[in-house]
Homo-oligomer: A and B are copies of this chain.
Amino acid sequence: MFRVGIVGDGYTAADLLRLLAHHEQAEAVRIFSTENIGRRIDEVYPHLIGFSELICEESNWDLLKEECDLVFLALPHGLSVSIAMELLPAGVKCVDLGADFRLKDAGLYEEYYELTHPAPELLEEAVYGLPEIYREEIKQASLIANPGCFPTGAILPLVPLLEAGVLESSNLVIDSKSGVSGAGRSPKASSHFCEVNEGVKAYGVGTHRHGPEIAQELSRAAGKTVEMVFTPHLIPMNRGILTTIYARLRTTADPGLVRLVLEEKYRNENFVRVLPAGVMPHTKWVYGSNLLDIGIYVDEKSRHVILVSALDNLVKGASGQAIQNMNLLLGLEENNGLKLAGIHP
């Protein structure tokens, strides 16, 4: 059994434990916390009773260096860099579920996260952890920047089409609808039940931190800076992100290529399902699972393309993808611990 540690005790940490409980070759051996030190994790999260008996401990990097093959950093941004700098030289692989290694441009990080990046040299070393795009790089890496939940839903449908030159790289509109768990577990006015339930709103309009992350990956795929807008919305549900993408066919591209390219790209993937023509995704179909579904609509006359993706923000958008990355880093079967179907209804 490989031995892994978890730093942090929020919702993504809890979902790591839920999924690791089914893993055949890796087990969680340590969990570090600040607020719950000394409490059993199944006291903090009673759904884990019978699935984990770990006790939340004060951070101790030496312990991780001695005991762990890999560590998940499930922390707010700004806290992961120094930990990675401790662990990596000791040969402990790191998967950062936060944002500290996602943007390759330290200037952009500073602009959006209002922090000077303490180790810009690590940005180059870190591999962006989207296995469907960077599988080979991940296998060779020690430090993974696990992608944001919104970026995962926007990038996987678009990258193959931008790489293939099927879509124009301008006038991209990405409109995402997210459940509330993406905002984390700390009580805030904006995640109060009564402020969310039976309503819907846009937030972070024009300023959300996942915008530059999406732009970075799409621009790389397009071979030039894409011109795009990204707007997230908050939906009264716990889990799930639906992303509706509006794009245009390039003048030279055949409308049939959209489906062809996506089906070809994802045919052998474990976790990406390109839905049949006429079927559009529903977030509940992937609830609790590591799947990402893609629906396709092409208006041949107007040459508009609408792509819709669905994922569970805590799984394929966070902890599931982190385990998928772990599997690659440790040389395991990529879907180990991740074979779950979505829970519907």
Contacts and interface: CB of A to CB of B under 8 A. Distances in A.
Interface string A280-291: 111111111001
Copies of the chain in the assembly: 4
- Give the contact-size bracket for chain A: 35 or more
A201 B285 CA distance: 10
Q: Which of A191, A229, A285 has the most CB of B within 10 A?
A: A229
A229 B194 contact: no
B203 A280 contact: yes
A105 interface: no
Contact of A238 (B43, B231, B345): B345
Contacts of A256: none
B242 A45 contact: no
16 contacts: A11-B194, A22-B340, A45-B344, A49-B275, A50-B291, A173-B246, A175-B175, A175-B246, A177-B200, A180-B193, A181-B194, A193-B196, A201-B242, A201-B282, A202-B280, A340-B340
Given A198-B237, A201-B242, 14 more contacts: A21-B339, A47-B287, A49-B275, A177-B235, A187-B187, A187-B188, A187-B191, A197-B198, A197-B236, A201-B310, A202-B295, A205-B308, A227-B302, A236-B236
